[in-house]
Amino acid sequence: MKETEISKHTISVLVDNESGVLARVIGLFSGRGYNIESLTVAEVDANAHQSRITVVTSGTPMVIEQIKAQLSRLVPVHKVSDLTLAGPSVERELALVKVIASGEKRVESLRIADIFKARAVDATNDSFVYEIIGSPEKIDAFIKLMEPLGLSEISRTGVAAISRGTLTM
C-alpha cells in the first residue's frame, strides 16, 4: 500500500474495565489528532473486569501503526488487534431509524425495510421505528433510501467486530 494512502481500519482493544479507561482512549485520539469514525464499548468479561472497545479509524499506514502502538502502551490495555489486517472479520452495527410519514411513503418505507430485513419495533399511525442490523454500509444504504420517505431520527450503536474463523484476540 502507498505510504500516503488513507485507509479505514477496525481496531479492537481489550481493556481493564476501570474508571477513566474510555477517557484515556478517546483522549489519545483527540489529543493526537486521530480520526474516530465509530467507537463502541461494553464489558465482555464481568469476572475479569474486561471491556472491549472497537474503534473504526482511518489514516496512512504509518498513522495506523502509531494508533496501535499508542493504544498498546496505555497501562490498562491488555491487547490491541487490527481486525482489518488480521484477516477476514465480521462487522455489525445496529441502528434504530424513525420514519414519520403517511400514505404511499409510509407503505414504501415498509417495503424497503422488508428488503433490508429491518424490523419495525415501534409503530403508530404516523410513524415507524425500524431496527436494522448489518454492516455500516448496509445501514448507510438503508438510511439513504429512507431520506425521502420521512426519515426523522437515527440512533446508531457504532461497529462491533470480530474476526472470522478460529482466530481469537
Partner 1 sequence: MAERILSGSEVVLQALADQGVEVVFGYPGGAVLPLYDEIFKQNRIRHVLVRHEQAAVHAAEGYARSTGKVGVVLVTSGPGATNAVTGLTDALMDSIPVVCLTGQVPTHLIGNDAFQEADTTGITRPCTKHNYLVKNPDKLARTMHEAFHVASSGRPGPVVIDLPKDILVGKAPYLEPGQVQHRTYNPVVKGERSQIEEAMEMLASAKKPILYCGGGVINSGTQACKLLTEFTRMIGAPITLTLMGLGAYPASDKQYLGMVGMHGTYESNMSMHDCDVMVAIGARFDDRVTGNLDFFAPNSQKIQIDIDQSSINKNVPVDIGIVGDVGHVLEDMIKIWKAKQYKIEANALDSWWKEIEGWRSKRCLSYKQSKDVIKPQHVIRSIHAATRDRKTYITTDVGQHQMWAAQHFGFEHPYEWMTSGGLGTMGYGMPAALGVQVAHPDATVVCFTGDASIMMNIQECATMTQYRLPIKTVILNNRYMGMVRQWQQLLHGSRYSESYSETLPDFVKLSEAFGFTGLTCDKPADLDDAIKKMLEIDGPVILDVAVDDKENCYPMIPSGKPHNEMLLAQDTSGDEAIDSDEGMVLV
Name the residue nearer to partner 1 (CB basis): 12 or 127: 12
- Cβ-contact 78, 14 below 8 angstroms: yes
Residues at the interface with partner 1 (CB under 8 A): 3, 15-16, 19-20, 23-24, 27, 31, 62, 65-66, 69-70, 72-78
Query: Between residues 46 and 75, which has the closer beta carbon with respect to partner 1?
Result: 75
Taking the C-alpha atoms of residue 68 and residue 12, their distance in angstroms, rounded to an integer, is 10
| Shortest Å, Cβ 63 to partner 1 | 10
Identify whether the C-beta of residue 126 lies closer than 8 Å to the C-beta of residue 47.
no
The least distance separating partner 1 from the CB of residue 23, rounded to whole angstroms, comes to: 6
Please, what is the minimum distance in Å from the beta carbon of residue 89 to partner 1? 23
Instruction: Spell out the alpha helix ranges (H) of 58-155.
Output: 61-72, 83-86, 103-115, 136-146
